[in-house]
A and B are shown apart, each in its own frame.
Chain A
Amino acid sequence: MSSLAEGTYLPEGLTQPAPMRDGMDAPYWEGTHEHELRVQRCADCGTHQWGPDWVCHACQSLNVEWVTVEPTARIYSWQRVHHPVHPALADHGPYIVVLVELPHADNLRMLGNLLGDLMADIVIGSDVEAVFEDHDNGNPPYTLVHWQATRS
């Protein structure tokens, strides 16, 4: 786990995230602000769940809790985006998006950018760790979760 040293992976000006008004996913965003990765786990059947929902998709319990999990994962799929569709990205060039799975949390999947060499070969199944990117000037402030190759 680490923080981005300086700057942000994608330029400012993209749509920013905000917690849902009904409070469903507030613990996730509070967690990222504290540089912790929080996901849902059913208090009845113990199944980890992502994305967030009010109901456990495995046993339909409404007793869904939030737990902090180790911020490590392995790459499940990826894309290298070349064609910008947002003005803030018009002059930015390619960027990499990864879908990662968390084997220690029932293989739930999370999405983020992959830090590091833009033109590197990306290997599905390789280990990555979370990198928290703070946006203190957001309205409200928020923290994104990126991924980078695990340093051995």
Chain B
Amino acid sequence: MSASGADRGLRGRTAVAGVGETTYYKRGQSTDPEFVLVVKAILAACEDAGINPREIDGFCSYSNDRNAPARLANALGLEELRYSNMQWGGGGGGAAAVVQNAASAVHAGSANVVVAYRGLAQGQFGRFGQGGRRPAVRGEFAYTLPYGVMSPAQMYAMRTTRLMWEHGIDRSTMRAVALAAYHHAQNNPRAVMYGRPLDAETYDSSRWITEPFRLYDCCLENDGGAAMIVTSAERAADLSDTPVLVLAAQQSGGHRSGAWVHNPTDYATSSFKLGAQHLYEQAGVTPDDVDVVQSYENFTGAVVMSLIEHGLCTYENANEVLTFENLRADGGSIPLNTSGGNLAECYMHGLGMQIEAVRQVRGDSTNQVPNVNVSLSNAGPMVEIASTAIYGTAEVLG
């Protein structure tokens, strides 16, 4: 038995049989309530999979999603609810973990058809990043809010500054991440930034949010719903000739990653240094095998950290390797964020980027990379528990 437990792992045991998304709206512009967005996404995923929604017997979500499994089960007419799960942690750190949790439940026999989902309607429930409005705060935030550190950008800017200082990461490398996302969004009609291209000059002259982040270094805020149907590899093979297997899915947090007031032992990290090793071991692949990458952009600097920590480039060559040309789906060596990602498609807390990774394996992305067998998608870099997953074809199993 391996030390990591990879030989007991998920490799090829489960599959994503279907994916569903609502229209993606600008923040606050959904005409549907959040619950309806989630129901619509789940129904779309069931239709995509070719299954009856009443076959669902489990639900997994994250980031304190407000749409509870029991209410969804009522709405969908489920005869039996066998499994429900909420991934700990805020932000989008759970967007790949939710697939891990669903796949684990299926692999363990706890349920047969588990839906991983996320819904967001900020017009209904308020915006991210608006800071504390309470008169007084206790605990960790007592050490940050009174100093004007309250939005996600403010909470994570200093990690990026430290990365740039320790490793000489250039602003142009962060810019390449933004340009690639917007480039891909121009081919993706779902994308909120479809028809709104970004060039280097516009990026360079955009306003500071907080140094080192300019406007285009920061993710969008959106309304919408997204869902993925996870079932056994055997069932998925009955539903499709080319099932999309979950090759690996892993949560990742390093030593004291949740230490208060910016005190994780390792600071300038995406939190993937350990989890990425387990990910590749579980999947039985190496970074060289990865054909296409969805790397969660809360902020561009975090993507640079994530790609390095997933072994797709190094601290030393990141500035040379992570260029706009190399990150493009059309001919790049590391096709990145091919839907437009959180910067330009939609900020569905990263679940849209898991869905895009599945699409790349199926071959139906709007920015399709040729011959994809291994498709990586990570989530929530820099948060205390991040997560990462690899999807692939049966060919990878050999």
Which of B146, B154, B161, B208 has the most chain A CB atoms inside 10 A of its CB? Answer: B146
CB of A144 within 8 Å of the partner chain: yes
A111–B150 touching, CB < 8 Å: no
Given A50, A78, A81, which contacts B261 in the complex, CB threshold below 8 Å?
A: A50
CB of B132 within 8 Å of the partner chain: yes
CB of B137 within 8 Å of the partner chain: yes
Residues in B whose Cβ lies below 8 Å from that of A14: 132, 145-146, 148
Q: A50 and B209 in contact (CB under 8 A), knowing A77-B267, A85-B154, A86-B150?
A: no
A71 to B172, CA, bound (A): 38
Q: A80 and B256 in contact (CB under 8 A), knowing A85-B131, A86-B148, A109-B262?
A: no
Q: A15 and B135 in contact (CB under 8 A), knowing A51-B260, A99-B158, A108-B263?
A: yes
A110–B138 touching, CB < 8 Å: no
B140–A51 touching, CB < 8 Å: yes
Which of B132, B147, B209, B260 has the most chain A CB atoms inside 10 A of its CB? Answer: B147
CB distance from A115 to the nearest CB of B (A): 12
Residues in B whose Cβ lies below 8 Å from that of A111: 143-144, 147, 149, 261-262
CB of B211 within 8 Å of the partner chain: yes
Q: In chain A between 31 and 84, which residues have their CB closer than 8 angstroms to a CB of chain B?
A: 50-53, 57, 76-83
A113 to B144, CA, bound (A): 10
B147–A18 touching, CB < 8 Å: no
CB distance from B134 to the nearest CB of A (A): 6
Q: A77 and B135 in contact (CB under 8 A), knowing A17-B142, A86-B150, A99-B262?
A: no
Q: Which residue of B lies closest to A15 (CB)?
A: B132
A60 to B314, CA, bound (A): 35
Per-residue 0/1 for B142-179: is the Cβ within 8 Å of any A Cβ (1 yes, 0 no)?
11111111110110011101100100000000000000
B261–A109 touching, CB < 8 Å: yes
A95 to B376, CA, bound (A): 38
CB of A97 within 8 Å of the partner chain: yes
Q: Which residue of B lies closest to A94 (CB)?
A: B208
A99 to B138, CA, bound (A): 20
Q: A16 and B165 in contact (CB under 8 A), knowing A77-B158, A85-B130, A85-B151?
A: no
Q: A18 and B260 in contact (CB under 8 A), knowing A77-B165, A79-B158, A81-B154?
A: no
Q: A15 and B134 in contact (CB under 8 A), knowing A20-B139, A79-B161, A97-B154?
A: yes
CB distance from B360 to the nearest CB of A (A): 34
CB of B212 within 8 Å of the partner chain: yes
A89 to B207, CA, bound (A): 17
CB of A151 within 8 Å of the partner chain: no
Residues in B whose Cβ lies below 8 Å from that of A97: 147-149, 154, 158
Q: Please report the total number of A residues contacting B with Cβ < 8 Å.
A: 39
CB of A27 within 8 Å of the partner chain: no
Q: Which residue of A lies closest to B215 (CB)?
A: A83
Q: Which residue of A lies closest to B136 (CB)?
A: A18
Q: A15 and B161 in contact (CB under 8 A), knowing A81-B154, A108-B263?
A: no
B162–A16 touching, CB < 8 Å: no
A89 to B136, CA, bound (A): 17
Q: Which residue of A lies closest to B154 (CB)?
A: A81
B154–A82 touching, CB < 8 Å: no
Q: Which residue of B lies closest to A14 (CB)?
A: B146
CB distance from A22 to the nearest CB of B (A): 9
Q: A113 and B136 in contact (CB under 8 A), knowing A51-B260, A52-B260?
A: no
A50 to B132, CA, bound (A): 22
Given A18, A53, A112, which contacts B142 in the complex, CB threshold below 8 Å?
A: A18
Residues in B whose Cβ lies below 8 Å from that of A17: 136-138, 142-143, 145-146
CB of A152 within 8 Å of the partner chain: no
B133–A113 touching, CB < 8 Å: no
A25 to B130, CA, bound (A): 26
B146–A82 touching, CB < 8 Å: no
CB of B31 within 8 Å of the partner chain: no
A51–B263 touching, CB < 8 Å: yes
B261–A83 touching, CB < 8 Å: no
Residues in A whose Cβ lies below 8 Å from that of B210: 79-83
Q: Which residue of A lies closest to B139 (CB)?
A: A20
Extra inter-chain contacts (6) besides given A19-B138, A77-B165, CB under 8 Å = A10-B148, A51-B143, A57-B256, A79-B211, A83-B207, A110-B143
Binding site for A on B (CB under 8 A): 129-151, 153-154, 157-159, 161-162, 165, 207-212, 256, 259-263, 267
19 A-B pairs, CB-CB below 8 angstroms?
Answer: A10-B147, A15-B134, A20-B138, A25-B142, A51-B260, A76-B162, A77-B161, A77-B165, A77-B267, A80-B208, A85-B154, A86-B130, A86-B132, A86-B133, A86-B150, A110-B261, A111-B147, A111-B149, A113-B148
The 5 closest A-B pairs by CB, nearest first: A51-B260, A17-B142, A15-B132, A77-B158, A82-B208
